[in-house]
Structure 1
Amino acid sequence: MEFREKLLKVDQVLNSDDTKALAFLCKDILKCDISSVESPIDLFQRLEEKDVLSEDQPYLLADLLRVIEHFKLLRELDLNSTMSTTVNPITPYRKLLYELSKDIGQKELKNIKFLLNNDLQSSALELNVSTLEVFLEMERKDLLSSSNLLRLEKILKDVRPALWKQIQQFKDSQGKIAQETGLVDLRPRSSSDASRRGKDLDAKEYPMSGPKKSYCLIFNNFDFSSSSPELSDRTGTHMDAESLSIVFDWLDFEVKVEPNATRDKMLSSMRELASRDHSEMDCVACVILSHGLKGGVYGVDGEEVQLEELTECLNGVRCASLIGKPKLFFIQACQGNKMEQGVPAQANRPALPEVSDQTERPSGPGVHAQTDGPSSPGDLCSDASVASETLPSMADFLTAMSTPPSYVSVRNPEKGTWFIQSLCRNLVRLVPSDKDLVSILIEVIQDLKKKSNSSNWRQIPEYTTNLTKLVVFPVPERPCPSLPTASTGSRKCRFSMPHTLMV
């Protein structure tokens, strides 16, 4: 039986209660309001978009059926022996709550609702509200989480002591895992949780609980018609600007896009940003989408701006309210005309898979790709980054660049740049997993390391940092955003990387 036929079979067999149970078990994976999950097929589509369920990765489906004890269906679909060899995406915490719900009868549930009468809305205490729905409401009210089981323990100790012991066993097992791995707290953090913990935040992380939104300034330079003929219009950059705006807004940043900025406008905008009072904000991000050259980027007037001129606007002397706070720069611009070539993998290591970037149009004589630097032989389209030597010697700066000095970076005229699209995709994918920014950038590098075109052109981003702590964005309380695609506009994106160059 084909994998999609198996998914359809599951959809046909499971009832509405089963659907709610599956959605509950996947809540930590989906990071969204699971009340909108209408059917198993709906859930499976969302899991496919999260890259945790596929024909090659059927483990989650098997584990879900195993947890809700549909063993007959497991056998019929030949999934009974399917087990993941890696960490299971269903969290032990979520499994614990589901197991507890199975042992809570109607009378006990009524007593639980009685004890929560002053904490939950009346709609959550009605007779038809299930145990899992009560747990979800407790989570919304910040009364229940993987590291905050005290209220549930107290309630179950009064209502069903045997289940209270089950929670104690869970906490003991999690404590042993933490000791063995050296990890103290693996749970995703929300902004409300960070605010509640206040001074208890890990000293190795920058505080991310400021009362005001952080700020993200995006320079989106497209129209170079008034500059040198060597600098062509940057088609496709609107996809990058839109994706960045969506993602940083989701991360609770105040986002401002400056379109087609000249050199003077870029510098004046940075000075205006530096003049603000950031004392109640957590950090600042600046993204530059433009043509470039080694050591700098271009305004749309063709005038060069050194990266150092931009970063110095936010140093401790010129912007005292950002002292000790992360200042993040993401540079998508040409750094030169060299093209990164693929090299043979070591004999004792498997070669990286090559992903063609010519899936829509053939390669051949006279075929040109677009770059974000001055025209060069072949008119290569590159968005190379600014040289690392231009970084100021100040603390708490991170600069992520689409390519090393002297090299080009690829921009798809319809889908945006490899670097920015991968950055947005990985922020959406990994922020809910509590990954720090440097770890996310490493994933971006891994993303692009696997990409090439038919001429074996490759691109490897780089980052330079003198951050003194980890940048860990609070998990947004809003659902994960949809990213635009060339074919769907603003409709849901499956986070696929662009695979074509303009020819």
Structure 2
Amino acid sequence: MSSPQPLEEETYDMSGARVALTLCVTKAREGSEADLVALERMFQQLGFESTIKRDPTAQQFQEEVEKFQQAIDARKDFISCAFVVLMAHGLEGYLEGEDEQMVELENLFKVLNNKNCQALRAKPKVYIVQACRGEKKDPGQTVGGDNIEMITKDSLQTIPTYTDTLHIYSTVEGYISYRHDKDGSYFIQTLVDVFINRKGPILELLTEVTRRMAEAELVQEGEERKVNPEIQSTLRKQLYLQ
């Protein structure tokens, strides 16, 4: 028995343009190009107008997001949603630019909020952050006797300022984010695979991404490690990409 279709007012209108900006530091981040290739394939398949900027400095991270916002607000056509992908070395709350200076994530996030980007007001804004958030390493915990599979490879008059935003971090606060020097990051590769090959509301897709990552055994410096993404949502409606 198929599940009932959500009501129109319960889903975001995705009939307009979809725009994406990817800012990626490739310097000393082997495997980054594999992630960029995967993301470009995903955005193309999902009908996004996608722009990639490689090796931004800390200041350029800020400038490129602000230029993205200005270009969106200058458009005359209807914008459905925006994705911003941020990939770099990092610490909790910060990304490291190509110049080894730090930029605050919150300063990047607020550029597109409901106050600062009129064209995206009440529209979904999705941030994907592939970066470490600390130095902790998770060896994982044993649960019962389960065998873990080994895997190597808007009609509102007013709305709050910070609604309609989805932050997807590659790891939880305080922990390292892993990246293979040839195959790219397990997070980006898994997210792309799920977003391309599965249909459903985005939060449901992200649950599948989390499940797959939780089952994977990542090996770093000869030690098995665990890693899982963290999702923070203020979406008011269901967001369907397919």
Please give the TM-score of this superposition, normalised by the length of structure 2. 0.89
| Identical-residue share of aligned pairs (%) | 27
The one of 80, 90, 93 equivalent to 1:295 is: 93
Q: How many angstroms apart in 2 are the aligned matches of 1:341 and 1:461?
A: 15
SS of corresponding position for 1:352 = coil
- Give 1:208's aligned residue: 14
- Give 1:354's aligned residue: 150
In structure 2, what residue type is equivalent to 1:237? S
CA drift of 1:184 comes to: 2.3
SS of corresponding position for 1:340 = coil
- Give 1:129's aligned residue: none
Q: How many angstroms apart in 2 are the aligned matches of 1:342 and 1:393?
A: 37
- Give 1:275's aligned residue: 70
Q: How many angstroms apart in 2 are the aligned matches of 1:409 and 1:207?
A: 33
Q: How many angstroms apart in 1 are the aligned matches of 2:151 and 2:183?
A: 16
CA drift of 1:393 comes to: 6.3
1:251–1:473 CA contact under 8 A, matched in 2:
yes
Q: How many angstroms apart in 1 are the aligned matches of 2:149 and 2:53?
A: 38
Matches within 5 A, 1:458-477: 458-474=226-242
SS of corresponding position for 2:51 = strand
Larger relative helix fraction: 1
In structure 1, what residue type is equivalent to 2:44? D
Please give the TM-score of this superposition, normalised by the length of structure 1. 0.44
- Give 1:67's aligned residue: none
- Give 2:53's aligned residue: 258
SS of corresponding position for 2:68 = helix
- Give 1:436's aligned residue: 201
The one of 315, 325, 328 equivalent to 2:113 is: 315
2:46–2:196 CA contact under 8 A, matched in 1:
no
1:237 equivalent to 2:32? Answer yes
Matches within 5 A, 1:327-338: 327-338=125-136
Q: How many angstroms apart in 2 are the aligned matches of 1:296 and 1:263?
A: 10
Aligned residues: 230
Structure with larger Rg: 1
Q: How many angstroms apart in 1 are the aligned matches of 2:65 and 2:240?
A: 24
In structure 2, the gaps of 5 or more residues are 154-159
- Give 1:400's aligned residue: 168
1:306 equivalent to 2:104? Answer yes
1:425 equivalent to 2:189? Answer no
CA drift of 1:300 comes to: 0.5
- Give 1:62's aligned residue: none
1:330–1:401 CA contact under 8 A, matched in 2:
yes
CA 1:469–1:356 in 2, change beyond 3 Å: closer, same or farther? same
Matches within 5 A, 1:162-241: 177=1, 183-185=3-5, 202-210=8-16, 213-223=17-27, 233-241=28-36
CA drift of 1:264 comes to: 1.3
SS of corresponding position for 2:21 = strand
Q: How many angstroms apart in 1 are the aligned matches of 2:185 and 2:88?
A: 11
Which digits, 9 at most, give the CA deviation of each residue in 1:20-46, with x for residues without a partner?
A: xxxxxxxxxxxxxxxxxxxxxxxxxxx
- Give 2:43's aligned residue: 248
Q: How many angstroms apart in 1 are the aligned matches of 2:201 and 2:141?
A: 30
Which digits, 9 at most, give the CA deviation of each residue in 1:258-296, with x for residues without a partner?
A: 000011111111111111336611000000111101111
2:113–2:161 CA contact under 8 A, matched in 1:
no
In structure 2, what residue type is equivalent to 1:273? F
RMSD across aligned positions (CA): 1.8
In structure 2, what residue type is equivalent to 1:438? L
In structure 2, what residue type is equivalent to 1:342? G
In structure 2, what residue type is equivalent to 1:449? A
The one of 186, 210, 223 equivalent to 1:445 is: 210
SS of corresponding position for 2:53 = strand
Q: How many angstroms apart in 2 are the aligned matches of 1:342 and 1:324?
A: 39
Larger relative strand fraction: 2
CA drift of 1:236 comes to: 0.6
Q: How many angstroms apart in 2 are the aligned matches of 1:222 and 1:356?
A: 23
CA drift of 1:354 comes to: 3.4
2:168–2:231 CA contact under 8 A, matched in 1:
yes
User: Which has the bigger relative contact order, CA under 8 A and spacing at least 6?
Assistant: 2
Q: How many angstroms apart in 2 are the aligned matches of 1:234 and 1:312?
A: 26
In structure 1, the gaps of 5 or more residues are 1-176, 187-200, 224-232, 358-391, 475-503
SS of corresponding position for 2:80 = coil
2:131–2:170 CA contact under 8 A, matched in 1:
yes
Which digits, 9 at most, give the CA deviation of each residue in 1:444-482, with x for residues without a partner?
A: 1111111122522111111100000111013xxxxxxxx
Structure 1 residue ranges, 4+ long, deviating more than 6 angstroms after superposition: none
